[in-house]
Amino acid sequence: MNWEALLDALFDPNHRVTCTGDLLSGSAEVNGRTVAVVGTTNHAAIGVELALAQAAAVLAVVREHPKRPIILLVDTQGQRLRHRDELLGINHYMAHLGCCIELARRHQHRVIGLVYDQALSGGFITSGLIADACYALPEAEIRVMRLPAMARVTKIDEVRLTALSKTNPVFAPGVENFVAMGGIRALWRGDLQAQLLCALADSSTQDERAFDGAARGGRKLAQTVAERVVKA
Amino acid sequence: MNISFAESSARARVAHLLDAQSFHEILGPSERIVSPHLALLGVPSSFDDGVVVGRGTLAGQPVLIAAQEGAFMGGGVGEVHGAKLVGLFKRALRDKPAAVIVLAESGGVRLHEANAGLIAVSEVMRALLDARAQGIAVIMLIGGANGCFGGMGLIARCADHVVMSDMGRLAMSGPEVIESSHGVEEYDSRDRALVWRTTGGKHRYLIGDCDQLVEDDVAAFREAAIGLLGQSVPLNLAAMEAEHALLTERLTRFGGCSDALDVWRLAGVPEPLHVADLEASGMHVLKSLTTGELA
């Protein structure tokens, strides 16, 4: 879904979200309640500038609009794969974005992520994945790596990977797999605004993904292993 | 006697970093907590899933510590590996140690369990920031041969303090990934000097991605970590605004540079070509000469 149609489906008419380059930012109303919107579009590659621009948008909300919920709209091909970004410390810029979102949560902003198009590897970690909860549209694509490339890097036969991916959600691309692993709370179908309202009402500031992953059978060990380390 | 951090295993690093005999491993190899996913793919697993976690003392003060083993799958973060790190940070909320110390050596997400690894990285990040918010210092020590890349590079920069050796590398995407995406003209992964000055400890120290630079010696890392115990950096709006200003300034000053040598020259390093020859102590002098904090 393109971002204009998405905004129309999520928010009341006359939202004030603008697109500058690949950055989406502004505010909108959900059933009369004002929320902030920060996100990316055009399958954005997250370079230093875009990470910094998103962080600036998040910080502005924390500074100027106490407790206003923040909706992170995710469409990214991942971190920008350029020498210049590495030279300038892209991991620092992206981590800064993640820390700004964490700051917002600690200042009692609800933070909801929505993957509406594409969410790839590193670009997803410091956006949707650091929200209170992240959701996705069924047609969205979430992956770390496609199977042919994964087969090359891991030196595991692609036919074998493909066969295993039918029953195992742990490595293959796909939003359903991320639901099974607990990384995506739920897929949104139908009335998007209604589901956003529910998400805003339900969201917990506790990280519940390992519990979800265990309950859904995709990540059976994460929660118990973490708990054993705490209790040992 | 100098014990090379880079050449030591994860367990040896922990043993020599902490006070003698003080380390108690949690979920050690005898517990046989292995990745459930590697066996399915016919890949050998490890009884610690590539990360050692536990408690001990440093200069007599209680700490929690984790060390990633680069020799096992490049230190890649899978479900169990990530969960051990998450558990350690959650434990810190209860134990209130003088620090959580992470000896990071990782290529990032373990591709064999990519989805679990990606989610785990973000869970570690949230658990780490929870610990920081409680005033517990989180210290990253980076000096392994595999560097600290991808998701682990993001986690590292969420810590209060980053300590590196010249041998250590800290970045997001590996040079091979960038080269295969945009060609050898963009980033020649076989040009070791280029890779070193783009990702290595000295560059990270000069531009402010790492706070302290030490020699490749476990004792030097130990000394640095002792100095940082209990040194929590606040995670509040003022601190994040200050960080934001530094990163903005860095982009303004160095955004036009295409090589680390240009960055260093602009920063006021008198002889950029000689940086490679300097020891850590020489770098400390150099850093004090460069114009202001570069972020």
Those of residues 134-193 in A touching chain B at CB distance below 8 A are: 143-145, 150, 153-154, 156, 160-161, 164, 168-172, 177-178, 181-183
Residue B16 placed within a domain: yes
Whether A103 and chain B come into contact, CB under 8 Å, resolves to yes
B254 contacts A229? CB cut-off 8 A: no
Chain B closest-CA separation from residue A143 CA (Å): 7
Model pLDDT for residues B143-201, shown as the tens digit of each residue: 999 999 999 999 999 999 999 999 999 999 999 999 999 999 999 999 999 999 999 99
pLDDT > 90? residue A42: yes
Residues A127-132, mean pLDDT to the nearest whole number: 96
pLDDT of residue A153: 86
Is B245 a member of any domain? no
Distance of CA B94 to CAs A58, A222, B64, B136, Å? 30, 19, 11, 11
pLDDT at B291 over 80: no
Q: Which residues pair with A45 in a beta bridge?
A: A78
In angstroms, the CA B258 to CA B274 distance is 18
pLDDT tens for B87-122 read: 999 999 999 999 999 999 999 999 999 999 999 999
With a threshold of 0.95, tell me whether the complex ipTM lies above it: yes
How many cross-chain Cβ pairs, A to B, lie less than 8 Å apart?
Answer: 250
> Which residues in A lie closer than 8 A to residue B26 (C-beta atoms)?
228-229, 232
Q: What is the helix (H) or strand (E) element at residue A3, kind and residue range?
A: helix A3-10
Ordered domains of chain A (ranges, CATH): 3-205 (3.90.226.10)
Substitution target in B24, B138, B172 with the highest count of A β-carbons within 10 Å is B172
A66-120 confidence digits (pLDDT tens): 999 999 999 999 999 999 999 999 999 999 999 999 999 999 999 999 999 999 9
The answer to whether residue B271 is domain-embedded is no
Identity of residue B139: I
Q: What is the pLDDT of residues A147-196, one digit of tens each?
A: 998 998 889 999 999 999 999 999 999 999 999 999 999 999 999 999 99
Number of domains in chain B: 1
Best A83, A143, A157, A178 member to test B by mutation, with max B CBs in 10 Å, is: A83
Determine the Cα–Cα distance for residues B162 and B178; give it in Å rounded to an integer.
Answer: 25
> Chain B interface, mutation test: which of A85, A100, A171, most B Cβ atoms within 10 Å?
A171
What's this model's pTM, rounded to 2 decimal places? 0.97
pLDDT digits (tens, 9 = 90+) for B210-261: 999 999 999 999 999 999 999 999 999 999 999 999 999 999 999 999 999 9
Q: In whole angstroms, give the CA distance from residue B271 to residue A94.
A: 31
Average model confidence (pLDDT) across chain A: 96
Position A204 scores a pLDDT of 87
pLDDT confidence bin for B295, thresholds 50/70/90: very low
Tell me, what CATH number does B122's domain have? 3.90.226.10
Q: By the 8 A CB rule, do B108 and B67 touch? A: no
* Minimal C-alpha gap between B2 and chain A (Å): 31
Query: B88 lies in which domain range?
Result: 10-170+210-232
Note whether B141 and B119 are within 8 A (CB): no
Cα–Cα distance between A145 and B129 in angstroms, integer?
27
DSSP category for residue A31: T
pLDDT tens for A7-27 read 999 999 999 999 999 999 999
8 Å CB contact of B133 and A106: yes
Residue B242 within any structural domain of the chain:
no
Put simply, the answer to whether A144 touches B118 (Cβ < 8 Å) is yes
Residue B293 in this model has a pLDDT that exceeds 60: no
By CA distance, what is B294's nearest residue in A? Answer: A88
Residue B276 falls inside a structural domain: no
Confidence band, pLDDT 50/70/90 cuts, at residue B292 = low
Q: Is residue B251 part of a domain?
A: no
Tens digits of residue pLDDT in A210-222? 999 999 999 999 9
Q: Which residues contact A126 (CB under 8 A, 6 or more apart)?
A: A51, A94, A95, A97, A98, A101, B125, B154
Domain annotation covers residue B280: no
Residue B243 lies in a domain: no
Report which residue type is found at A71: I
pLDDT of residue A182: 98
